[in-house]
Amino acid sequence: MQTPVNPSRIIAGTMTWGRWGRELDTPAMAGLIDHCLDIGIRTFDHADIYGGYTTEAAFGTALKESGAARENLELISKCGIQYLCESRPNRVKHYQYDKAYIVWSAEQSLKNLKTEYLDLLLLHRPSPLMHPAEVAEAFAVLRESGKVRAFGVSNFTPSQVALISAAAEVSAHQFECSLTAREALYNGVLDDCLQHGRMAMAWSPLGSYFRGEDPARERIAGCLEGLTRRYGASENQLLLAWLMQHPAGIRPVVGTTRPERLKESLEACNLELELEDWFELLVAAQGHKVP
């Protein structure tokens, strides 16, 4: 399978750009968009719910102000979560994946982002009530109208991916993966991406390393101390390089809004860890040798 989008190796995650984080105003957000494009990060990851359904619109306004050409960037968004917030009359957080809602949600994202098409639309989280035929019909409508170029899923199990892909092409999968959240290495998610050529994207690619103190962090820090000197790289870069070395070609979705951290993250693409260094980090994280 060939994914009909060409995302940058590092993807800019926008979840904290707006109300759920830094609350960047339009000029600051436009400047950050321009910075990403200037250094080579051309793919921006959204979800309709970010900022309580407000961040896409803020980004769309900033994108127009930036003057960036639409053909020079890729826009990813997600749909399906009905979130509890003032802009939605929901009684309970839930998921919705009927044909009409998927199409409507994608069209809302287009309106908010001020664009005529999405490069990639993901089903944000799996629902026990989703039906592959219903999803496939929605995908077909959006593809044939030129509103979405490719489709994928997010946070699905391999069996759930197989369920949807039985009726519709699943070009990409976004999931949590990092040195401190390694489940995707072993639960079949990355195997599925590699086997079927799905684009693999990892959210929270630095994991919990920079948050709090625990024995695993101390072990990883001890290992990184020597590696930072050996590779002339930062801890952040080594953690990203460890992730990107997986043969599935994982693309980290980096959530920082700091220009220097974005540039530093992109430079991690030039690092390749020696095999035993890669496993040394794995052993440090899990606290025991591999079987």
Q: Is the pLDDT reported for residue 2 higher than 60?
A: no
Strand duo 172-176 + 199-203: pairing: parallel
Q: Pick the range with the lowest mean pLDDT from 6-10, 150-154, 256-260.
A: 6-10
Percentage with pLDDT > 70 across the chain: 98
Confidence of residue 5 (pLDDT cuts 50, 70, 90): low
Distance of CA 58 to the CA centre of its chain: 19
Confidence of residue 236 (pLDDT cuts 50, 70, 90): very high
Confidence of residue 87 (pLDDT cuts 50, 70, 90): confident
**Cα 189 from Cα 198, distance rounded (Å):** 10
Q: pLDDT per residue over 19-55, tens digit each?
A: 999 999 999 999 999 999 999 999 999 999 999 999 9
Confidence of residue 275 (pLDDT cuts 50, 70, 90): very high
What angle, 0 to 180 degrees and rounded to 10, lies between the N-to-C axes of helices 275-286 and 235-244?
100
What pTM does this model have? Answer: 0.96
Q: Is 260 exposed, middle or buried (0-12, 13-18, 19+ CB in 10 A)?
A: exposed
Q: pLDDT per residue over 111-136, tens digit each?
A: 999 999 999 999 999 999 999 999 99
Q: Is the pLDDT reported for residue 91 higher than 60?
A: yes
Which CATH number does the domain 11-212+248-260 belong to among 3.30.2350.10, 3.40.50.300, 3.20.20.100, 3.10.20.740? 3.20.20.100
Distance of CA 177 to the CA centre of its chain: 10
Secondary structure, 3-state, 110-161: HHHHCCCCECEEEECCCCCCCCHHHHHHHHHHHHHCCCECCEEEECCCHHHH
Percentage with pLDDT > 90 across the chain: 93
Tokens 């962090």 correspond to: 217
Q: Is the pLDDT reported for residue 7 higher than 90?
A: no
Q: Mean pLDDT of all residues in the chain?
A: 96
Taking alpha carbons only, the member of 281, 285, 287, 288 closest to residue 180 is 285
50 is catalytic: yes
**Cα 70 from Cα 82, distance rounded (Å):** 29
Question: What's the rounded mean pLDDT across residues 64-78?
Answer: 96
Q: pLDDT per residue over 180-194, tens digit each?
A: 999 999 999 999 999
Q: Are 251 and 199 in contact (CB under 8 A)?
A: yes
Q: pLDDT per residue over 200-228, tens digit each?
A: 999 999 999 999 788 899 999 999 999 99
